[in-house]
Amino acid sequence: MSLAGDYDGNNIFAKILRGEAPCVKLFEDEHVLAFMDIFPQSQGHCLVIPKNTTARNLLEFPADRLGTYFASVQKLATAVTKAFNCDGVIVTQFNGAPAGQTVFHLHVHIIPRYANLPLQPHHGGKPADLDVLREQAARIAAAL
Ligand code: 5GP
């Protein structure tokens, strides 16, 4: 059901893209917006979303835009690893609720991993302090 369906223009990421909901932004150009995840699974967890699309997931996104989108994801993942000096980084996304998707506008997670530090759960974690997220976003932006 959630894998196929209509795009809801009132999903939270659509609202963030329209400036109707807040986010802690770290990068933006004509193709993508990147911002800090409000329920981070680790320090530096951020999201990269494509603009000008009604793709709910990767399967619906035009193939001819994937290169541009993932070039941005790669650039941001590189900046995140520099900014946080992490030991690894997860780059992932989920398609459909049974796969773990909760927001139905295509997005990629960039989640730094630190040796011997467990991840917070994908859902049900604690919301981050906004000042902390702002400082982290500034660190990532400076590493771009
Ligand atoms: P999904 O579960 O669909 O893969 O990922 C959605 C992500 O969006 C989750 O990691 C969740 O913490 C994050 N998220 C949900 N609502 C908001 C919000 O209002 N602002 C921000 N910055 N992140 C959000």
Delineate the domains of the chain, giving CATH numbers in brackets: 12-115+127-143 (3.30.428.10)
C-alpha angle 134-9-62 in degrees, rounded to nearest 5: 90
Confidence at residue 104, expressed as pLDDT on a 0 to 100 scale: 97
What spacing in Å lies between the alpha carbon of 113 and ligand 1's midpoint? 18
Kindly tell me if the per-residue pLDDT of 2 is higher than 90.
no
Kindly tell me if the per-residue pLDDT of 1 is higher than 70.
no
Confidence at residue 59, expressed as pLDDT on a 0 to 100 scale: 97
Length of the chain: 144
Confidence at residue 125, expressed as pLDDT on a 0 to 100 scale: 77
- Mean predicted lDDT score pLDDT of the chain: 96
Kindly report the pTM of this predicted structure: 0.97
Cβ(36)–Cβ(128) below 8 Å: yes
Confidence at residue 93, expressed as pLDDT on a 0 to 100 scale: 98
* Ligand 1: lining residues by beta carbon, under 6 Å: 12, 23, 35-39, 94, 100-103
Confidence at residue 85, expressed as pLDDT on a 0 to 100 scale: 96
Confidence at residue 89, expressed as pLDDT on a 0 to 100 scale: 98
Query: pLDDT tens-digit profile of 88-128?
Result: 999 999 999 999 999 999 999 999 999 989 999 888 878 99
Kindly tell me if the per-residue pLDDT of 64 is higher than 90.
yes
For 32-88, what is the HEC assignment?
Answer: EEEEECCCCCCCCCEEEEECCCCCCCHHHCCHHHHHHHHHHHHHHHHHHHHHHCCCE
What spacing in Å lies between the alpha carbon of 46 and ligand 1's midpoint? 9
Query: pLDDT tens-digit profile of 6-28?
Result: 999 999 999 999 999 999 999 99
Identify the weakest region by mean pLDDT among 117-121, 128-132, 137-141.
Answer: 117-121
Task: Report the amino acid identity of residue 59.
Answer: L
Among 33, 47, 105, 140, residue to substitute to test ligand 1 (most atoms within 8 Å of Cβ): 47
Between CA 1 and CA 3 the distance in angstroms is: 5
The catalytic residue positions are 107
Region 44-62 average pLDDT: 98
